[in-house]
């Protein structure tokens, strides 16, 4: 069953929520619906496009999409599990903004409990369904500061090879000079191509990609220190890592680890 094929049915249903848990790569083209949407990314990375923004949803984060918001959702890695809920639209201010938040332990546990339902409509009066009502209410009460990471992509084959190289070498002291040597081009030509295709600089892309990987490692390698996480993402200075993390997420890496633990 393809989710986009039943959006009209989801919108028309008088029941309180539609629940779906999906694994595998997904690419939902631009669409909208009259229900509010909560999507939790358990592993890997998802991307959401709204208007001219291309946002990243890292693992262990949830995305809130208000009703009637045109968006495209792409789940890019086969190991990713996406948990989605379509709730009746709410008038509260919190639920009227598209945002991405790190998921607290309680929210994560409620989402995992919800796996007893999938591809089905649920009323809050049904057995155990009060957990879905609790989940909806807790979002507003326990959500931390939202993050806003933007990581563009490109259909250009040459740029695809450049991005693959960055993804493979991000945890090293990757430099502009190394990139130019690897792709046999001048610094001026490389920077112009990167900026034209990606709309951001090579250094901004590298920094963003490193921080996205750091978010994932902060959750997976709980016994590692923040300094070890920084080193694993290509940073020799914990101060530089912490400042870059703060710039892109709004919080320090130690704060995010605490929020999701």
Decide if domain 154-260 falls under CATH 1.10.10.60: yes
Q: What band does 77 get if pLDDT is binned at 50, 70 and 90?
A: low
pLDDT at position 252 over 80: yes
pLDDT at position 249 over 90: no
Percent of the chain's residues with pLDDT above 90: 60
Q: Taking the CA of residue 20 as centre, how many other CA atoms within 13 Å lie in the half-sphere pointing to its CB?
A: 18
- Higher per-residue confidence, 58 vs 126: 126
Distance CA 56, CA 49 (A): 9
Q: Where are the domains of the chain?
A: 3-149, 154-260
Q: Between helices 187-198 and 157-169, what is the axis angle to 10°? A: 100
pLDDT value of position 24: 75
Distance CA 8, CA 12 (A): 6
Distance CA 126, CA 139 (A): 21
Burial class (CB in 10 A: 0-12, 13-18, 19+), 260: buried
Q: Taking the CA of residue 120 as centre, how many other CA atoms within 13 Å lie in the half-sphere pointing to its CB?
A: 10
Average pLDDT over residues 67-76: 89
The CATH superfamily holding the domain 3-149 is: Regulatory protein AraC (2.60.120.280)
The string of DSSP codes covering 110-164 is: HHHHGGG--SEEE-TTSTTTHHHHHHHHHHHHH----B-EE------HHHHHHHH
pLDDT at position 55 over 90: no
- Same fold: 3-149 with 154-260: no
Of 16, 5, 15, nearest to 132 by C-alpha is 16
Cα 23–28–30 angle (5° rounding)?
Answer: 160
Q: Taking the CA of residue 183 as centre, how many other CA atoms within 13 Å lie in the half-sphere pointing to its CB?
A: 24
Radius of gyration of the chain measured on its C-alpha atoms = 20
Check if the beta carbon of residue 224 is closer than 8 Å to that of residue 217.
Answer: yes
pLDDT at position 260 over 80: no
Average pLDDT over residues 213-226: 86
Instruction: Tell me how crowded residue 12 is: count the other CB atoms within 10 A of its CB.
Output: 9
Q: What band does 32 get if pLDDT is binned at 50, 70 and 90?
A: very high
């Amino acid at each position: 069953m393809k989710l986009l094929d039943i959006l009209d049915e989801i919108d028309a249903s008088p029941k309180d929520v539609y629940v779906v848990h999906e694994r595998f790569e997904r690419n939902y083209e631009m669409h909208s619906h009259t229900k509010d949407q909560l999507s939790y990314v358990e592993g890997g990375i998802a991307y959401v496009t709204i208007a001219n923004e291309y946002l990243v949803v890292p693992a262990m984060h949830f995305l809130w999409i208000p009703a009637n918001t045109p968006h495209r959702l792409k789940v890019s890695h086969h190991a990713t599990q996406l948990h989605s809920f379509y709730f009746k639209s709410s008038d509260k201010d919190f639920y009227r903004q598209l945002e991405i938040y790190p998921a607290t332990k309680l929210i994560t546990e409620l989402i995992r409990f919800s796996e007893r339902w999938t591809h089905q409509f649920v009323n809050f009066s049904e057995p155990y369904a009060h957990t879905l009502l609790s989940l909806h209410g807790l979002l507003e009460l326990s959500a931390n500061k939202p993050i806003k990471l933007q990581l563009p992509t490109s259909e250009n084959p040459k740029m695809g090879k450049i991005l693959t190289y960055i993804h493979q070498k991000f945890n090293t002291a990757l430099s502009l000079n190394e990139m130019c040597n690897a792709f046999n081009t001048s610094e001026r030509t490389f920077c112009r191509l990167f900026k034209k295709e990606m709309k951001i600089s090579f250094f901004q892309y590298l920094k963003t990609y490193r921080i996205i990987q750091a978010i994932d490692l902060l959750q997976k390698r709980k016994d590692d220190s923040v300094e070890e996480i920084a080193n694993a993402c290509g940073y020799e200075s914990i101060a530089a890592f912490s400042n870059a993390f703060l710039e892109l997420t709004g919080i320090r890496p130690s704060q995010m680890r605490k929020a999701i633990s």
